[in-house]
Amino acid sequence: MSSTSVNQIIDNFSSKAEFYDQYSRIQKLSGQMLLERIPALSYMRVLDLGCGTGFFIPELQELAQHVTCLDASEKMISFVKQRYPTVETVVGDFDNLDSCISTNYDLIVSNYSLQWSQNLTRLFASLKRCSTRKSMFAFAFPISGSLSELKNAFVEIGEPGFINEFYSEEQVKKALDEAQLTNYSVSVTTETVRLVYPGVLDVLHSISKVGAYTNTNEKYEHKLSKTILKNLINHTRAENNANVFNISWKICFIIGTRV
């Protein structure tokens, strides 16, 4: 991923921030699944990486006395500030945590954001520096296998590369190994969630309305033209039952506890 695409990622999320809560169906589901995996202890300080509009702040406030929300999008952070004026906010890049976080947290969470990281190893390694001695982290993000139906449909109409490559489970585990989290007990599990949409256009709509449409594949130069869209709609109508398009999300859950 080039640095241009990082700015592009953030600009695209910013431009759709106002629609995010309305269209973030899979993100909400994943966030609930993540919360269920966090032991209901009394935490002092929680840090949310890639917080977006702060949809899960009420739940985080129940878990911890102090909530800090970090996002690289100023627009997303302005939503958080408006809704939760007492929550601490940081406009910052989770791939450079050392430059924007100086406090130690006993809970670090992230939902549906780390798939945008350009350097998972560095991100995981920086957890050691911003955690307290007794701490845990809990992350959920989509990995390869996600959006496979949409990806296949694009391949079948001769447009491979339109859907971003997600990290594979092996790459995530390798990044954790390389980060040398020796003082942590870490578990990595995956779960596949299937959502049903009336058609392929609704799927594309759900991705674009939350701002998650940046193509990080440097080699892919096409825009989603009307012709490509028409081909895709016709192809998927012919291939699928009318009014049903299934989408799979393979979600990776990483839970780490400092031992």
Ligand X SMILES: C[S@@+](CC[C@H](N)C(=O)[O-])C[C@H]1O[C@@H](n2cnc3c(N)ncnc32)[C@H](O)[C@@H]1O
Decide if residue 57 touches ligand X (CB under 6 A): no
Kindly tell me the sign of the dihedral angle through the C-alpha atoms of 13, 19, 25, 27: positive
Contact pick of 23, 68, 69, 73 for ligand X (by CB under 6 A)? 73
Contact pick of 38, 46, 47, 50 for ligand X (by CB under 6 A)? 50
Q: How far is the CB of 145 from ligand X (least distance, A)?
A: 18
Decide if residue 245 touches ligand X (CB under 6 A): no
Decide if residue 146 touches ligand X (CB under 6 A): no
Which SS3 state, helix, strand or coil, does residue 252 take?
strand
**SS3 for 95-114, per residue?**
HHHHHHCCCCEEEEEEECCH
- Show the binding pattern over residues 3-42: x = contacts ligand X (CB under 6 A), - = does not: ------xx--x----------x--x---x-----------
Residue nearest to ligand X (CB): 52
Angle at 133 between CA 130 and CA 138, to 5 degrees: 60
Measured CA to CA, the distance from residue 72 to residue 69 in angstroms comes to 10
Q: Which is nearer to ligand X, 72 or 150 (CB)?
A: 72
Q: How far is the CB of 99 from ligand X (least distance, A)?
A: 11
Q: Is 29 exposed, middle or buried (0-12, 13-18, 19+ CB in 10 A)?
A: middle
Residue 244: C-alpha distances to residues 159, 210, 247 (Å): 22, 21, 10
Contact pick of 95, 135, 154, 250 for ligand X (by CB under 6 A)? 95
Question: Is the CB of residue 26 less than 8 Å from the CB of residue 52?
Answer: no
Contact pick of 23, 79, 105, 116 for ligand X (by CB under 6 A)? 116
**Footprint of ligand X on this chain (CB under 6 A)?**
9-10, 13, 24, 27, 31, 50-52, 55, 71-73, 76, 93-95, 111-113, 116, 210, 212
